[in-house]
Amino acid sequence: MSLAARFAELDQWLHQHQALWRAKPFTQLSLAWEADWPELAHWLRQRSLADAEAAHHRPQQLPAPEPFASLAVESARLSQLPRWQAASAEHLPEPLYRHIPGRKWQQITHFAGVASAGLQMPATRWVDWCAGKGHLGRLLAWQGGQPLICLERDDTLSQAGAALSQTLAVAAQHRQVDVLAPSCVEHLTCGDSLVALHACGQLHMTLLQQVVANQCRQLALSPCCYNRIASAHYQPLSSAAKVAQLQVSRDDLSLPLQETVTAGQRERQQRDRSMAWRLAFDLWQREARGVDSYLPTPSKPPGGTAQGVAGFCRSLAAYHQLQLAEPNSWTQLEQRGWQRLAQVRNLELLRGLFRRPLEVWLLLDRALYLQESGYQVQLGEFCPSSLTPRNLLLLAEKQNP
Ligand SMILES: C[S@@+](CC[C@H](N)C(=O)[O-])C[C@H]1O[C@@H](n2cnc3c(N)ncnc32)[C@H](O)[C@@H]1O
């Protein structure tokens, strides 16, 4: 199936079911779709927090009542992409992976292996976009012997990267550059092969525009943080997405990022406690105010969870400048917060079915934009999702460079 046909199918499906994936269980006590699908709502609401946790990474496999099962089949079909395998990188010199956490290094070796194998023409110069210390570009340049340009805003990272490149005798220039500035164009030529691992929203949208404007030869991009864009609404790049049925807000763009990274048990417990207490606060403030609406809570509430549930909720009330009558029992309110967390997480599994399809819709917009601009494009996964949920890779090459 062509990329355009695939995009059209996804667009229609996401648009048709937007009421299911736009509804947010965390901020609403009941969701509009529950009245249409009471059996599914009841089934999800009676499950435990541990049940939700077990299904979080693979909601498509949950044996939930209709329409969940049919949507799960479509979700899997519409978001299917090849899982590319990289030849294992062995006997690499230590400075290539110095100071890099294990999982990050594995992402880099998978990315480099897949990009080198997947791009047809040999690179003549690598450009690492938002390079950090330039670990990815350095690995590619070290393996292939090409020169490397690293573009990075943070001078400390650039300097640390330059020292590593020198140690390995890689012909690298680490330039301190704001890639969003118009002057960034000075750093690119049509002979360049650009790589970007986990460049956030606007940073990789600008990358795509620069690649096309400069007719650069090749691109390997793994996008991330789609919601970090300047505008309140997503501005599509391709002509297909510009006339799409689906209109995507910045808030929608956070849906693909909802898959939480596999955290340690302690970290998970802390995260869950903070969420359960926020939901306890939500129940308290709705009841005490007599107003059935959600009040947003700061990502780092003053005082944190160390002050206990009562202190936590009181500090959130103070944050909203509310003087609320105290609940009869904080213990009971906390229990209700935990119950609600279990319900929220299970109801969110329905949204979870749309997480990957929306991400693939966004990836296809990027791919179609490049295709319309004369590039041959391939899409796939560069590593297993256990290494990072942001494992999509777009490979593009100018057709007649
Ligand atoms: C998520 S990190 C990715 C770094 C590296 N590619 C990696 O995977 O480790 C994003 C990088 O972009 C850099 N950055 C953010 N805004 C930038 C800008 N406007 N111009 C250049 N670099 C920027 C940050 O300093 C950071 O090093």
pLDDT score for 88: 79
Ligand 1 near 155 CB (within 6 A): no
Burial class (CB in 10 A: 0-12, 13-18, 19+), 262: middle
* Cα(198) to centroid(ligand 1), Å: 8
Q: Which CATH class is domain 94-252+359-398?
A: alpha beta
The confidence score (pLDDT) of residue 262 equals 66
User: Would you state the pLDDT for residue 261?
Assistant: 73
Residues whose CB falls within 8 Å of the CB of residue 350, separated by 6 or more in sequence, listed in order: 20, 21, 33, 40, 44, 59, 68, 71
What are the sequence ranges of the domains in the chain?
3-80+258-353, 94-252+359-398
pLDDT of 324 reads: 97
Pull the structure tokens for residue 4.
């355009």
Gap between the Cα atoms of 152 and 129, Å rounded: 7
- Write out pLDDT tens, residues 216-225: 999 999 999 9
Q: Would the CB of 154 count as within 6 Å of ligand 1?
A: yes
Q: Write phi, then psi, for 222 (nearest 5 degrees).
A: -115, 105
Cα(130) to ligand 1 centroid in Å equals 4
Residue ranges, the chain, pLDDT below 50: none
Task: Kindly give the distance from the C-alpha atom of residue 17 to the centroid of ligand 1, in angstroms, as a whole number.
Answer: 35
Which residue from 105, 152, 391 has its CB within 8 A of the most atoms of ligand 1, so it is best to mutate?
A: 152
Distance 166 CA to ligand 1 centre (A): 21
Instruction: State whether the beta carbon of 221 lies less than 6 angstroms from ligand 1.
Output: no
pLDDT of residue 284: 98
The pTM assigned to this predicted structure is: 0.95
